[in-house]
Chain A
Amino acid sequence: MNHLMILPILIPLIAGASLLLAYRYSTGRQRSISVTSTFLLAVLGGWALITAGSGDYHLYLAGDWPAPFGIVLVLDRLSAVMLALTSGLALFCVLYACRGIDRQGAHFHALFQFQLAGINGAFLTGDLFNLFVFFEVLLIASYALLLHGGGRARSRAGLHYVIINLVGSALFLLALGILYGLTGTLNMADLAIAVADAPGSDRALLTGASLLLLVVFGIKAAILPLLFWLPRAYSAASAPVAALFAIMTKVGIYAIIRVFLLVFGLGEDPLNETAFAWLWPLALLTLALGGVGVLGSASLRAKTAYLVIVSIGTLLATLSFMTTASLGAALFYLIHSTSMTAVFFLLADLVGRHREHGYDGFTSISPVAHRWLLGTVFLVAGVSLAGLPPFSGFISKLWILQATTAEEGAFWLWSVLLAAAFLTIIAVSRAGSSWFWKPGELTGPARPLDRSCFALVWLMTGVSIALSVLAEPVGQYLTQTAEQLHAPEHYLQAVLPESFAEYQARETAP
C-alpha cells in the first residue's frame, strides 16, 4: 500500500485548514502556502501518471479495512490523467489569482484548496457514497468560490447554481439508496458484480437508479436539459475561478465514464446501454445548442461558457459510441478542451482589463492597449480552440472524426460537430476582429501590461502547442487508458480478487 496515494486529498485539506487558521497573516504568506500546496499537487500528478502508466491498479485501503467494507481509493490511468490535468490547471489558476484577484474577498486560497481536495477525492475514490461526499466537498467550496468578489451578478448566478446542485445531491442520494437497497453494497467493484448478478426482477429498478445517476452527473456536466445554470454561473465567476470550473464539468464526465463503464458495464447485457442510448441524442443537442450560444453571447466570458457546453456535447457524443478508439479520442479532447476553455476565461479577464471600457463585452467598441501582444495570444488560443491546424484542437477533432468513421451514427456526429466548429470559428474570429481591428487608437495613456498574467496565459496556450507536438505519446497513453476502461474485469480482479473469482466461476458454470 502506497501512502503517496492519499496525499492528493490530504495536502489540499491540510493546506486549506491551515489557511483558515492563518487568515490574519499577510497575503504573501497565504499565497505561498497555497502555491506550495498546489505545486506539490502538480508533482504528485506527474507521479500518478508515471505510477499508473504501468497499467496496474493501485489501491489504498483507508484505515486498512479490507475492500468492500472500508473505503478504497483506486489509482488507474484515468484517475491519473484527471489528477494531473486538475493539478496543472490549478497551478495556473492559483498563480493568476495571486496577481490580485484573491484579495477581492475573504478566504480565496482556503476555498481553492478545499475545492482541489474535493476534485482529487472524486477522481480517486472507489466507493459510490464516498464519491457523493467528495462531490459535496467540491460543490460547497465552489459555491463560495463562485461568490468570490461579490456583486449582484454573482449572487444571482450563485442562487441558481446552489439550488440546482442541492436538488442534484438529493437525487444522488435517492439513486444510492436504491442501489444499496437492492445490492447491499456501495463499493464500485462490489456493486458491479452485484448488479451483474442481480435477478431479472430487479433490473427495472437498477436501470432507474442508473438513469437517476445519469441525471445527477448530467447536472454536473451540463447536458442539455440541465445546463441552463452554466452560462450565467461561469460568466459571473471571477477569472481564475471560472478557469478552475472548466474542470468541474469534466468531473461529471469522469463520473459518467467511471460509473457507467464499471458499475453498470459488466455482464452479457449490461445496463449502461439504456443510459448511452439516452446520452447520444442529448449530447448532439447539447453540442448544437452550445454552437448557437457561442455565436449569440454578448461577452467573451459568456462565449467561453458556451464553449464549455460545446466541449461537453462533443465529449459525450463521442463517448456514446462506447468503443475503445472513440474513448481514447474523447479523453484527448477532454484534456485539450479543459485547458483551452480555461485559457479563454483568463484571456477574457486579461484583455478586458486592458480595454478602455466595456471589460469583456462585445457591445461596446473600445480601444485595447498592447494590441499586438494581446492580439497574438488571442489568435493562437483562438486557432487552437476552434480546431484549426496545427494545434491540439485540430488533432483532437481529427482523431474524434477518424475514430467514429465506421460507426453507425457517424453522419450525425460529423455534421453537428463540424457545424458547431464552424460557428465557433465565426464567433471567435468576429470577437477577435471587433476587439483588435475595429477600434481606433487609445484616447488616454496605455495601462501598463500585466506581464505575469500575460506570461501565464502564454504558458497555458503553450500547453496546447505541447499537446500537438507530443500528440503521439499522449495519444498512446490515452489509448491504453481507454483499453483499461473497457476491461472492467481487471479492476474487479484488483479490488476484489475473491468475489471476482466466485463471480467468474458462476458465469462459466452451466
Chain B
Amino acid sequence: MELLFALAIGVLATCGVYLLLRARTFSVILGLTLLSHAVNLFLFGMGRLTSGAPAIIGLGTESADPLPQALVLTAIVIGFAMTAFVVVLALKAAVELRSDHVDGEDPDEDRP
C-alpha cells in the first residue's frame, strides 16, 4: 500500500507542477488542483497508513491518528474555496483582458 500511495502522490505532484508551469489559466488551475490533491494525500499519509483502524483509542487493537485527518479536512475546505475563487478570477481576467494567458497578453500574438 505504501508504494501505491507514494506513487500516487508522486504522479499527482508531477502532473500538477507540469500543468502549473503552462501559460494558460485553465491548465494552471488544473495544476493547482492536482498539486493540492497530492499535498492532501501527503498530509494524510503523515498520520501513518493503517486500514480499518478507528480514529478513537480503545475501539480496536490499533487506532489511526485523527489529527492529520482533521488537518486534511481543513486543507480541503480552504483549497476548495481558493480553487473556486481562482476560477472566477481567471474568468474575470479572461473576459477583461480578452486572453486566457496568465500574463493577460499572449507574447506570440503578433507573430505572423
Contact = CB atoms under 8 A, between A and B. Distances in A.
B39 A173 contact: yes
A169 B89 contact: no
Nearest to B46: A181
A162 B78 contact: no
Given A152-B104, A156-B93, A180 B68 contact: yes
Given A140-B81, A152-B104, A169-B78, A180 B86 contact: no
A398 to B, nearest CB: 42
Interface string A199-225: 000000000000000000000000000
Interface string A169-191: 11001101110110000000000
A490 interface: no
A147 B89 contact: yes
A488 B67 CA distance: 26
Interface in A140-180: 140, 143, 147, 151-152, 155-156, 158-160, 162-163, 166-167, 169-170, 173-174, 176-178, 180
Nearest to A181: B46
B82 interface: yes
Contacts of A156: 93, 97, 103-104
A181 B81 CA distance: 26
Given A143-B89, A155-B93, A163-B86, A173 B104 contact: no
Nearest to B74: A133
Given A162-B86, A167-B35, A180 B67 contact: yes
B71 A159 contact: no
A348 B37 CA distance: 42
Given A140-B82, A152-B97, A163-B86, A177 B42 contact: yes
B96 interface: yes
A158 B104 CA distance: 11
Interface of A (DSSP majority class) = helix
Interface string B13-26: 00000001000010
Interface residues of B, number: 33
Nearest to B38: A170
A46 B35 CA distance: 42
Contact of B39 (A158, A160, A170): A170
Contacts of B45: 177, 181
Contact of B93 (A129, A140, A159, A176): A159
Contacts of A177: 39, 42-43, 45-46, 68
A256 to B, nearest CB: 22
B89 A162 contact: yes
Contacts of A349: none
B85 interface: yes
A181 B44 CA distance: 10
A356 interface: no
- Of A151, A159, A167, the most chain B CB neighbours within 10 A belong to A159
B89 A167 contact: no
A140 B80 CA distance: 12
22 contacts: A129-B74, A136-B82, A143-B85, A147-B92, A152-B96, A155-B93, A156-B93, A156-B97, A158-B93, A159-B25, A159-B102, A160-B102, A163-B20, A166-B36, A170-B36, A173-B39, A176-B71, A177-B45, A177-B68, A180-B43, A180-B46, A181-B47
Interface of B: 20, 25, 28, 32, 35-36, 39-40, 42-43, 45-47, 67-68, 71, 74-75, 78-79, 81-82, 85-86, 89-90, 92-93, 96-97, 102-104
Given A129-B74, A162-B86, A173-B40, 9 more contacts: A140-B85, A151-B96, A155-B92, A162-B85, A162-B89, A166-B32, A177-B45, A180-B71, A181-B45
